[in-house]
Structures are given as structure tokens and as C-alpha cells.
């Protein structure tokens, strides 16, 4: 990280710019289309992928904020209290006698807690009760404009020691909404923001669970306090009060509290989103040597550290349900059912909203749709070949990213749009066996699938968005026959959505990235 010292609150804050990665290869199957995985934001053990040329040329959305606005935001604080201080919940953890000292180094922690430390995809995690947290605060090296990044005391070396401070609006890419963007603030659940794939910012309930667990296991508090990088601003539960010669309170608009305190960013807003409301904040976790762990509400524009929580600790499912066949399914027939594997057991459900039937299959212990959704949503959706009845055989309907945001309504009751994690880990040992045995273009570099899973992915490509500078034409279908795309339920700010894609090339696996909401892709539903 270079020269963060000049990006202080006394300087103009630069433009917010989050890299938009392209749909690499969606369109020309003759050139072996393949998706470039998105660039990871965190450098704490997660390697950064090379960006595609499409990503490098991506236009950045931006907004400006003056230094005076930043300081006004800091002095206002976020809680809406008259004193401008963050409100804290009554739930807190008293620090043990050892927790007030600087936490042991990572190697010492590993020696103390042993198997509670583990590495997944290059990122170090630690188990705290039923949760798995990143071992260190996120050190941000890309994806967020450096004008929104701060090192403690504006010293570069402090980012290496403590991680990077940034504010919630920048981390979640919601800056433009808070500064006048029209429309509702729509976030993924849980909020992913700039967390690495497979992780998210903790919800309020997850923070409360962490605090409750550590109340009874105070010896483990070093797992979350091993980088006490301090805070910026005033109003934290253990702040000293500074007075001038006239005994007036002086806000502490500076970095302070290193080795004694820190604030970890949460993902859940603390009030009904309203850009004009000064009571709008986000639930964060504060640690102070005098107060222990405390849940606080902090302004979305004030700096904090980020430490992400692993998704699969909150997406647990019980064993697979029994496949059932809905009455009337035996008399129905869909053209895409001809691609199913006759040697695999399928169920069949009826979507009570419109009477359509869907084949279901168990893969990796979960009940999935064995075909793409065809429900006609209230928002934009299309068929590749529009049938008179709108049935969208063979590839299902193509939904805009905006349509997929209504997570509770687009899939039938009891099902949801698959997440990134659910797609990426679907039959991960041999993902080519998720593809249909027929219907794919073949060349010297492609392989035949036996569809042993019965999942039956067909190569429906995608419907382009309005990006003529990158070769995209709004409404033009591309990649048919050579690649399959699926929106996931994960959102990137308010204007983009994450997708998963796979081809039939040798050793192909799901890749994920994000694209603007005017693109359209199919979805797969999985049982809750």
C-alpha cells in the first residue's frame, strides 16, 4: 500500500471507484469463452486475480466529498443522540485481566488455540463458538479508491500492522445512494460488500451471538482483539473526555486508542434507510480495554476496520428432504426435460403461483431445481426464443439483476435463488457432471458430460446490457451453446449483481464475478 499518509481527513476525499469485472467470454463460444473471477478486495492471504481487459477498461462510478463534510460527519456522529455519541447496547463483555494487554502474535495464537485456526482458499480463519472469523482485519489493496482508505495516524506501516480503515458506504459500494441516488437502498442478506468470496460483514444477530459466547469464554477474546488498531473520532464508550481551558468539551477528531481499542464494521443498518436522517447508522462491534465488547451504532460515513465472517457458518442445512412428485406432474411435459438423465431419480414440484411444474434433484445433500426458473416476475424478464405461452423452453427465463433482488419472491415458496457459495461448492469435485450430456457446442478443447448428477445445465448464455464500449448490446443474446450463466442472490452495491458461469471446457469449474443489473441471466432455485 503506498502513500496513504496524504489521504487524511484534512484532504479532499477522492472519487469512489469499485472495479466492475466483465463477463469474460460470454458470447463467442468459438474462442473458448471463460469467466475471469472477480478481483479480491482483501489482501490478507487472498491472492488477487489478474483482471480481464474488460475489467481494466471498466468505467467507474464516483462521487465527491470535501474534507469539511468528512469532519462534520465525524463530529455529528451517527446515533442521533443530542450529544453526538454512538449509542451502545447493554450487552457487553468484561475484559479478562489478560485481555487489556496487547494480544499475542498470530503464531502465538495458533499455539494457544490449535485447531481453532484454519486456512481456506488462502485466508486464515479462527473459530469462535459456532462462527468462523477472518483471523485479521482486512488490509485493502484494490477495489476501493484510496481516498476512502486510512491507516492509523496516516502512516502506511500501520495498515500492515492493523489493517485498513474505511467507511461503510465505501466498503458496501453504496456511496452514490447516500448522496442523492434515486431509488431504494437494496443490499444482499447478509451484506457482502468488499469481503472476499465466501464471507460477509456480520449481522447484528451474529455480533450479539459473538458477544454472548465470549462472555462465557473470556480467554478466547484475543481471537477478536489480536489487532487493536484504535479508532477515529469521538463518542466511543471508553473515550477520555478532552476539555479546553474553558472546560468545554472538545471532540477528539483524530486517531487514538491503538493497542487499547478498535471498531469492527457490521453489515446491518440500525435504522430505516433514509438519506436525510442523521439517525441512520450501522451496527458495529467496539472493543475497549475498559468496556470490553460492546454493540454500537455508528455513522455509515465514519471509518472502521472490517473483519469478515465465513458464510457457511450461517448457511447450514439439515439433511436432504425426500423427493416428492406433485399431482399432475406425470401428465406434464417440458421440452427441456428431454435432456434430463433417465438414470437419476427426480422429484417434481408445482409452483402454486402460476401452475408450472419443475423437476427437482438432490445434489450434495440439497434439493435443487433440475432446470432454470420460468416464473414471469413483475420486473424485467425475457425468453431466448419467445413462445406463444411464454414457457421459455429450453433455457428458462432470463431475469434482470433488479428482478433477482426480490429474493423472497422470485423462487417458489420454500426455495431461494442460490448464493455464490452454494453454486461454487455444488458438486465441486467434478462440476462438469452438472452439465447436460447434449446441447453443447463441441470443439477440440471441449468435453462431453455424462450428467451423472442429473443437474442438467444447458448452455443458455446471457442477455447483454447497455455496454457498447465493451462490445455489448442491450437485449442481444450471447454465448448460446458454449457457456451457461446464472445470477446468484449476492449483490454488489445497488447497481450490480454477482453471477456464476461454467463452460464445457476441460476441467472447467464455476467462476464468479459481477455485472450491471441491466444484463439478464437465468437462475436456479434451491430448497431453503
DSSP characters for 149-208? Answer: EE-GGG-HHHHHHH--EEEHHHHTT-HHHHTT--S-----SS--TTSPTTEEPPPHHHHH
- The answer as to whether 23 is a domain residue is no
Mean pLDDT of 77-98: 37
Mean pLDDT of 17-32: 37
Domain count, the chain: 2
pLDDT tens sequence across 107-138: 566 777 788 998 887 889 999 999 999 999 99
- The answer as to whether 94 is a domain residue is yes
- Cα dihedral value 102, 106, 109, 110, nearest 10: 180
Cis check for the bond before 263: say yes or no (omega within 30 of 0): no
Separation of alpha carbons 510 and 525, rounded Å: 16
Separation of alpha carbons 95 and 289, rounded Å: 7
**Domain-ending residue, one of 284, 313, 342:** 313
User: CB of 120 within 8 A of CB of 308?
Assistant: no
* Residue 176 pLDDT class (50, 70, 90 cuts): low
Domain holding 422, by residue range, is: 329-527
Q: Does residue 458 register a pLDDT over 90?
A: yes
Residues 266 and 334 both lie in one domain:
no
- The answer as to whether 471 is a domain residue is yes
**Domain-ending residue, one of 257, 289, 313:** 313
pLDDT tens sequence across 147-172: 899 999 999 999 999 999 999 988 98
- The answer as to whether 318 is a domain residue is no
Predicted TM-score (pTM) of this structure: 0.50
Residues 437 and 508 both lie in one domain:
yes
* Residue 357 pLDDT class (50, 70, 90 cuts): very high
Residues 335 and 283 both lie in one domain:
no
Residues 192 and 301 both lie in one domain:
yes
Query: So what's the pLDDT on residue 378?
Result: 66
Q: Does residue 38 register a pLDDT over 50?
A: no
Query: So what's the pLDDT on residue 152?
Result: 95
Three-state DSSP class for residue 144: coil
Separation of alpha carbons 507 and 149, rounded Å: 39
Separation of alpha carbons 460 and 524, rounded Å: 13
Instruction: Tell me 421's DSSP state.
Output: H
How does the average pLDDT of the chain come out, rounded?
74
- Phi, psi (rounded to 5 degrees) for 220: -95, 5
- The answer as to whether 451 is a domain residue is yes
Mean pLDDT of 282-309: 92
- Burial code (b: 16+ CB inside 10 Å, e: under 16) for 224-249 equals bbbbbbbbbbbbbbbbeeeeeeeeee
Query: So what's the pLDDT on residue 196?
Result: 84
Q: Does residue 5 register a pLDDT over 50?
A: no
Residues 218 and 84 both lie in one domain:
yes
CB half-sphere exposure, 228, CA atoms < 13 A = 21
Query: So what's the pLDDT on residue 141?
Result: 82
Residue 385 burial (C-beta neighbours within 10 Å; 0-12, 13-18, 19+): exposed
Residues 258 and 205 both lie in one domain:
yes
Percentage of residues of the chain with pLDDT beyond 90 = 35
Query: So what's the pLDDT on residue 290?
Result: 87
Residues 333 and 309 both lie in one domain:
no
Mean pLDDT of 297-305: 90
Query: So what's the pLDDT on residue 39?
Result: 29
Residues 417 and 458 both lie in one domain:
yes
Percentage of residues of the chain with pLDDT beyond 70 = 68
Residues 284 and 417 both lie in one domain:
no
Q: Does residue 78 register a pLDDT over 90?
A: no
Query: So what's the pLDDT on residue 457?
Result: 94
- The answer as to whether 234 is a domain residue is yes
- The answer as to whether 223 is a domain residue is yes
Rg over CA atoms, the chain: 25
Query: So what's the pLDDT on residue 89?
Result: 41
Separation of alpha carbons 381 and 162, rounded Å: 46
Residues 393 and 461 both lie in one domain:
yes
Residues 209 and 355 both lie in one domain:
no
Query: So what's the pLDDT on residue 523?
Result: 93
**Domain-ending residue, one of 253, 278, 313:** 313
**Which residue, 383, 412, 415, 377, is CA-closest to 396?**
383
Q: Cβ–Cβ contacts within 10 Å for residue 27, how many?
A: 21
Residues 139 and 219 both lie in one domain:
yes
- The answer as to whether 411 is a domain residue is yes
Assign residue 280 a region (left: φ > 0; alpha: ψ between -120 and 50; beta: otherwise): beta
Q: Does residue 471 register a pLDDT over 90?
A: no
Query: So what's the pLDDT on residue 493?
Result: 61
Query: So what's the pLDDT on residue 272?
Result: 63
pLDDT tens sequence across 222-276: 999 999 999 998 778 877 665 566 666 666 678 999 999 999 999 988 876 665 5
Amino acid at each position: 500500500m503506498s502513500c496513504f499518509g496524504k489521504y487524511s481527513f484534512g484532504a479532499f476525499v477522492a472519487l469512489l471507484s469499485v472495479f466492475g469485472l466483465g463477463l469474460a467470454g460470454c458470447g463467442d463460444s468459438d474462442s473458448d469463452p471463460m469467466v475471469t473471477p472477480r478481483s479480491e478486495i482483501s489482501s490478507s492471504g487472498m491472492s488477487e486475480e489478474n483482471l480481464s481487459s474488460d475489467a481494466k477498461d471498466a468505467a467507474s462510478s464516483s462521487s465527491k466529498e470535501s474534507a469539511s463534510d468528512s469532519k462534520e460527519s465525524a463530529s455529528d456522529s451517527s446515533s442521533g443522540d443530542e450529544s453526538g455519541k454512538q449509542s451502545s447496547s447493554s450487552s457487553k463483555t468484561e475484559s479478562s485481566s489478560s485481555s487489556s494487554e496487547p494480544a499475542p502474535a498470530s503464531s502465538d495464537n495458533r499455539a494457544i488455540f490449535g485447531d481453532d485456526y484454519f486456512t481456506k482458499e488462502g485466508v486464515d480463519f479462527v473459530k469462535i463458538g459456532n462462527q468462523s472469523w477472518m483471523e485479521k482485519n482486512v488490509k485493502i489493496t484494490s477495489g476501493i479508491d484510496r481516498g476512502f482508505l486510512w491507516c492509523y495516524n496516516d502512516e502506511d506501516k500501520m495498515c500492515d500492522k492493523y489493517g485498513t480503515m474505511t467507511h461503510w458506504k465505501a466498503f458496501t459500494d453504496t456511496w452514490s445512494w447516500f448522496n442523492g441516488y434515486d431509488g431504494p437502498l437494496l443490499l444482499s442478506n447478509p451484506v457482502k460488500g468488499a469481503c472476499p468470496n465466501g464471507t460477509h460483514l456480520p449481522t447484528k444477530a451474529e455480533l450479539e451471538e459473538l458477544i454472548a459466547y465470549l462472555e462465557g469464554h473470556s480467554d478466547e477474546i484475543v481471537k477478536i482483539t489480536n489487532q487493536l488498531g484504535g479508532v477515529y473520532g469521538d463518542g466511543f464508550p471508553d473515550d477520555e473526555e478532552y476539555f479546553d481551558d474553558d472546560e468545554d468539551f472538545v471532540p477528539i477528531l483524530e486517531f487514538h486508542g491503538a493497542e487499547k481499542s478498535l471498531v469492527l464494521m457490521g453489515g446491518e443498518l440500525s435504522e430505516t434507510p433514509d438519506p436525510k436522517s442523521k439517525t441512520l447508522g450501522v451496527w458495529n462491534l467496539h472493543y475497549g480495554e475498559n468496556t470490553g465488547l460492546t454493540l454500537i451504532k455508528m455513522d455509515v460515513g465514519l471509518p472502521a476496520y472490517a473483519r469478515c465472517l465465513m458464510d457457511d457458518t450461517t448457511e447450514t442445512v439439515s439433511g436432504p428432504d425426500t423427493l416428492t412428485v406433485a399431482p399432475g406432474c406425470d401428465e406434464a411435459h417440458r421440452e427441456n426435460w428431454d435432456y434430463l438423465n433417465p438414470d437419476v431419480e427426480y422429484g417434481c414440484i408445482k409452483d402454486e403461483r402460476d401452475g408450472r411444474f419443475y423437476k427437482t434433484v438432490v445434489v450434495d445433500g440439497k434439493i435443487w431445481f433440475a432446470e432454470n426458473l420460468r416464473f414471469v416476475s413483475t420486473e424485467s424478464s425475457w425468453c431466448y426464443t419467445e413462445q406463444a405461452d411464454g414457457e421459455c423452453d429450453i433455457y428458462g427465463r432470463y431475469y434482470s439483476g433488479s428482478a433477482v433482488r426480490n429474493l423472497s419472491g422470485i423462487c417458489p415458496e420454500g426455495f431461494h435463488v442460490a448464493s455464490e457459495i452454494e453454486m461454487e461448492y455444488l458438486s465441486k469435485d467434478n462440476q462438469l457432471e452438472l452439465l447436460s450430456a447434449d446441447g453443447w457446442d463441441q470443439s477440440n478443447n471441449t468435453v462431453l458430460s455424462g450428467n451423472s448428477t442429473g443437474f442438467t445445465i444447458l448452455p443458455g448464455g446471457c442477455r447483454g446490457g447497455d455496454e457498447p464500449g465493451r462490445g455489448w448490446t442491450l437485449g442481444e443474446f450471447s454465448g448460446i451453446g458454449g457457456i451457461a450463466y446464472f445470477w446468484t442472490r449476492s449483490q454488489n452495491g445497488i447497481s450490480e449483481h454477482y453471477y456464476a458461469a461454467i463452460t464445457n471446457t476441460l476441467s472447467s469449474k464455476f467462476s464468479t464475478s459481477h455485472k450491471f443489473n441491466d444484463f439478464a441471466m437465468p437462475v436456479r432455485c434451491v430448497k431453503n
